């Protein structure tokens, strides 16, 4: 049943617990490639956003509650 869906008064709904705690995966990326090293923060954010869209639309997309990518600078 999709979120926000309503059931008829006589329809039974089964709710089961989530099978484990949520997992947070984090990391960092650095490059010494001269071309990629000169990319702007906006370019890196675009790449990160594309990766999030690919995760969401891929075969495991329904298993993600959320994904966030933040591009920082030094």
E strand or H helix at 51: helix 41-57
| Per-residue pLDDT tens digits for 7-58 | 556 677 777 766 777 777 787 878 888 898 888 989 988 988 888 888 888 8
Is the pLDDT assigned to residue 1 strictly greater than 60?
Answer: no
The predicted pLDDT at position 58 comes to 82
The predicted pLDDT at position 8 comes to 59
Is the pLDDT assigned to residue 71 strictly greater than 60?
Answer: yes
CB 23 within 8 A of CB 47: no
As a whole number of Å, the end-to-end CA separation of the chain is 45
């Amino acid at each position: 049943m999709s979120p926000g869906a309503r059931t008829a008064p006589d329809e039974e709904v089964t709710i089961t617990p989530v099978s484990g705690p949520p997992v947070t995966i984090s990391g960092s990326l650095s490059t010494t490639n001269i071309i990629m090293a000169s990319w702007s923060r906006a370019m890196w954010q675009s790449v990160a956003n594309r990766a999030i869209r690919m995760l969401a639309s891929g075969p495991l997309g329904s298993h993600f509650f959320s994904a966030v990518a933040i591009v920082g600078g030094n």
